[in-house]
Amino acid sequence: MWKDKIKEIIYMLENSDINEIEVRFWFKKIKVTKKPPVLNVDSSQLSSDNLNVPNLNKEEPVDSNIDTPKHDSSKRLIEIKSPMPGTFYSSPDPDSASFVSIGDNVNIGDTICIVEAMKIMNEIQAEESGIVEEILVDNSSPVEFDQVLFKLKPSK
């Protein structure tokens, strides 16, 4: 319900000339701001191409051969969710390397992170194997039950 409202607001914003909408709903205040398009383009793209077209130009050729299957498989990404509320840790201790990084191959049973609850470090294991495509949570930030932590691309 709440998410739908935000989607609605974003849609309204995208289809209008205004840059910012602030609404009050169920005692909560939410503000959606549209960033000026120039700020979204990073400097590497600025140097190679002209201002507004680069994104489209670059993606066009990629889209036709490699990106299309990639796009399809991205819909079938495996989501690894937190089994409990707690604090997310990407490594066994602050000085160690992360359990997994983007691009790593993960096998069933591999520990991929820790969710700490009540001072107990709960190792979270992958229930399916795949390649880490996305890590959605920053180290030592709070997570809810069922929150998506990782997205894996299924390995063939």
Partner 1 sequence: MFKKILIANRGEIAIRIIRACKEMDIQTVAVYSKADKNSLHVKFADEAICIGEGPALDSYLNIPRIVAAGEITNADAIHPGYGFLAENANFSKICKENGFTFIGPEAEIIDLMGDKVNARNAAKNAGVPIIPGSNTLSSVDDLLEIADEIGYPVMLKAVAGGGGKGMRVINNANEAEKGFNIIQNEAGMAFNNSEIYVEKFVKNGRHIEVQILSDKFGNHLHLGERECSIQRSNQKLIEESPSLFVDDSLRDELTSKSLQLAKNVNYVGAGTIEYLVDDEKNFYFIEMNTRIQVEHTITEMVCMIDLVKEQIRAYAGIELTIKQENILMNGHAIECRINAEDPFNDFIPSPKRIESLNFAGGIGVRIDSFIYAGYQIPTNYDSMLGKLIVHSSSREKALIRMKRALQETFIEGPKTTLPLLEMIFENKDFNNGNFDINFLSKFLKKIRGKNNESS
The residues, ordered by sequence, that sit 6+ positions from 27 with a Cβ below 8 Å of its Cβ are none
Taking the C-alpha atoms of residue 140 and residue 113, their distance in angstroms, rounded to an integer, is 11
CB of 146 to partner 1, least distance (A): 6
Nearer to partner 1, 96 or 140 (CB): 140
Which residues, 29 to 58, sit near partner 1 by CB under 8 A? none
CB 90 within 8 A of CB 98: yes
**Binding status of residue 113 toward partner 1 by CB under 8 A:** no
* For partner 1, the closer CB: 75 or 119: 119
How would you classify residue 26: left for phi > 0, otherwise alpha for psi between -120 and 50, otherwise beta?
A: left
Q: What minimum distance in Å lies between the beta carbon of 101 and partner 1?
A: 24
Question: For the range 19-25, what are the long-range contacts, defined as Cβ-Cβ under 8 Å and sequence gap of 24 or more?
Answer: none
Cα–Cα distance list, 142 to 10, 87, 115 (Å): 26, 4, 9
Q: For partner 1, give the closer residue by CB, 89 or 106.
A: 89
As measured in angstroms, the least distance from the Cβ of 9 to partner 1 is: 16
Give the interface segment with partner 1, choosing from 20-28, 64-72, 90-98, 125-133 (CB under 8 A).
Answer: 20-28
Report the interface residues with partner 1, using CB under 8 A: 1-2, 26-28, 84-87, 116-120, 142-147
